Amino acid sequence: MVLVLVVHSLEAVSATVPICMIALKEAVDRRALPEDLKIRQVVPTGGLRCVSLWDVTDKDALQAWMEENLGPDVKHEILDVAEDFTYGLAAELQRIRTAEKIAAQSRKTAGTVAEKTKATFRAAGHKLEELDTKWKVSENTTAAFQTAKETGAAVFTRIGSSVTQTKEKALENPKVAATANTIGTGLQTGWKRIGVGFESARGQVSRLLGGGHNLRRTASSGDAPTMPRPDHEGLDGAAAESKSPAKGDSSAPAKDALPGGKEGKGDGVNGPQPAVDDGAVFSLGDEGDDVTPRTNPPATS
């Protein structure tokens, strides 16, 4: 390569940095230069002259590239550099050129290794093809796989047919068929009972949690009571009324007294229970009604 200095001459100053120098710097940053054109320095100025330093193998190739990429309003003059008499460039040029040589050698070595590797794989492939052709490895493997596939399918088909036949033959026996049917019916019945049990339990919980409503309905409404009423409940109501005489009524009966002067007896739960006269029958009315004794008519002789 030859070290050359290029003088870029402008027709007029159009900017602080000439457009041709900006384009050249961008081409360097993008690494868009040809492989045989190595730029070393770019020195723009604010006047009509700018310079750049190159290592090239062909000056005409450099001239053609600059005319094509740096614009029409600039002229390029290429001058050879007396490198041995330069000052301040030798060390930098040596460093850059050495780095480029090492990189080029590395690329060449990598390319050689890649080519050798490809050649080795190609030779191995040809050898394997020859062995396969000679011993028919691929053909035998394919045939063995197909045979195994067909055999497996046939085996599974026979197993399925055997199981089906065994099941059908077993169900021909009336006892076996009846047992199987009973088991199936029992399972269905069991699941139904479980469902009914859950529904009943849910209803009971709903009734227990629904406090505040009347658990008993009047007989006159025609509805059945939701909870049985103890036999002594109506009598307790009558006894409670007899215990509380009206205000100012001196003729009210005494505590726990019934007609005839008989006193009630306690049942140990709800207080004294009124004694029932031998000749009286009590009629239990609706909820909240009084207990009204009535006397049996005398027996006729």
In a domain, 21, yes or no: yes
Sign of CA pseudo-dihedral 187, 189, 195, 200: negative
In a domain, 27, yes or no: yes
Phi, psi of 283, rounded to the nearest 5 degrees: -110, 120
Q: Which amino acid is at 253?
A: P
In a domain, 295, yes or no: no
The CATH number of the domain where 73 resides is what? Answer: 3.30.70.1060
The upper half-sphere exposure of residue 220, i.e. CA atoms within 13 Å in the direction of its Cβ, equals: 4
Q: What is the pLDDT of residue 264?
A: 47
Q: What is the pLDDT of residue 53?
A: 96
pTM for this structure? 0.40
- Residues 58, 35 contacting (CB under 8 angstroms): no
Q: What is the pLDDT of residue 296?
A: 53
In a domain, 187, yes or no: no
Q: What is the pLDDT of residue 143?
A: 80
- Report d(CA 42, CA 52) in Å as an integer: 4
For the chain, the residue count is 301
In a domain, 34, yes or no: yes
Secondary structure class of 28 (helix, strand, coil): helix
Secondary structure class of 136 (helix, strand, coil): coil
Terminal-residue alpha carbon distance, the chain: 162
Encoded tokens for 267:
């049942």
Domains identified in the chain, total number? 1
Q: What is the pLDDT of residue 300?
A: 55
pLDDT beneath 50: ranges in the chain? 212-269, 275-292, 301
- Domain with 78, as residue range(s), is 2-86
In a domain, 174, yes or no: no
CA nearest to 82, candidates 5, 178, 161, 160: 5
56-101 pLDDT tens trace: 999 999 999 999 999 888 999 999 999 989 998 888 888 998 998 8
In a domain, 102, yes or no: no
